[in-house]
Amino acid sequence: MNFIIVDLEATCWEDRQNKPNETIEIGAVCVDSNLNVLGEFCQFIQPTVNPVLSEFCIQLTSIIQDDVNSAEPFPVAIEAFKQWIQSYGEEYILCSWGNYDRTQFKNDCDLHGLDASWTNSHISLKHQYGEIKGMRRPAGMKAALNREGFELEGVHHRGIDDARNIVKIFTKYFDDWNFNAVYKAK
């Protein structure tokens, strides 16, 4: 079994306009059941509905317009991501800090008419971490890193950097995660 620690960045607006968010970066780290890091995946994605990034999005993520202009569209990028996952074996669980990433994958798949069933094997580390720690409200990734005495490395809100940081918490609590609590397709 492999664990795909994934973090997405998506289009966004400061005033939360009524526009669909589209993934603009996939950052992921593949970890095996012996806690070996097998590889990393990082890819920018060109948004199609709202192709121009907001100033807010650029400031938040540090992803610039040129990064997404020269990137592949979602259908091409997601196929590359799925092939990368499969290159490590058939069995995997997507692990992200919250349910946002799985939902965003599903929304993008729906937008482009693609099957999203590959996202069904997913757990929210954020919610399980809150349960492990007995927290009333789950902590954000940065707060959880601080709580654990880990330093935030890289740029916060960059997919690959956030995925690498989540791996620190993932490996520390590996024996505590409930991998049987994967998302069940409806």
- Residue 35 token pair: 């806690």
In a domain, 48, yes or no: yes
92: Cβ–Cβ under 8 A, 6 or more apart, which residues? 1, 2, 3, 4, 30, 85, 121
CATH number of 94's domain: 3.30.420.10
Pairing of strands 122-124, 92-96: parallel
Query: Is residue 186 in some structural domain?
Result: no
Residue 90 lies in a domain: yes
d(CA 84, CA 104): 19
Whether residue 11 is contained in a domain is answered as yes
Whether pLDDT at 186 is above 80: no
By three-state DSSP, how is residue 9 classified?
strand
Q: What is the pLDDT of residue 184?
A: 52
Domain encompassing residue 123:
2-176
User: What is the end-to-end Cα distance of the chain in Å, rounded?
Assistant: 23
Q: How many domains would you assign to the chain?
A: 1
Work out the pLDDT band at 35, boundaries 50, 70, 90: very high
> What CA–CA distances, in Å, run from 182 to 37, 121, 123?
21, 5, 5
Q: Is residue 185 pLDDT above 70, yes or no? A: no
Q: Tell me the whole-structure pTM to 2 decimals.
A: 0.95
